[in-house]
Amino acid sequence: MDIFCKIINRELSAEVVIEDKDFIVIKDIHPAAPVHVLIIPKKHLDIIHEISHEELDILGKMFVVAGQAAKKLGVEKTGYRLILNQGPNAGQLVPHLHLHLLAGKPLGSKIAS
């Protein structure tokens, strides 16, 4: 079981920003920006290119939840970056689909890991 599943199941603690029946948004423990949260589906999905048509609503809702998190964190007007890493060469450390939201400073054009 990966670390995100353990957080979702309350086996590990995390600083929760938003939670609903489908998603949990937590603060990243190693932030790459002043604001860095993870938008994590509660349903375990690990490989984006294997998501079925029945699971497409999860991807759409992930971006809606990201917008809600940006608003709650007060960065919806100044801007934020969303990053989805897939696989080890992309920098994915946890094999559970998740979206990074980074903000709170000018991020420039450098691609974050």
Residues with a catalytic annotation lie at 98
Every domain of the chain and the residues it spans: 3-103
The pLDDT, as a whole number, for residue 111 is 58
State the CATH architecture for 3-103.
2-Layer Sandwich (3.30)
pLDDT tens by residue, 40-53:
999 998 888 888 88
> pLDDT > 70: what percent of the chain?
96
| pLDDT band, very low/low/confident/very high, at 87 (cuts 50, 70, 90) | confident
Question: Residue 5: which H helix or E strand, with range?
Answer: helix 3-8
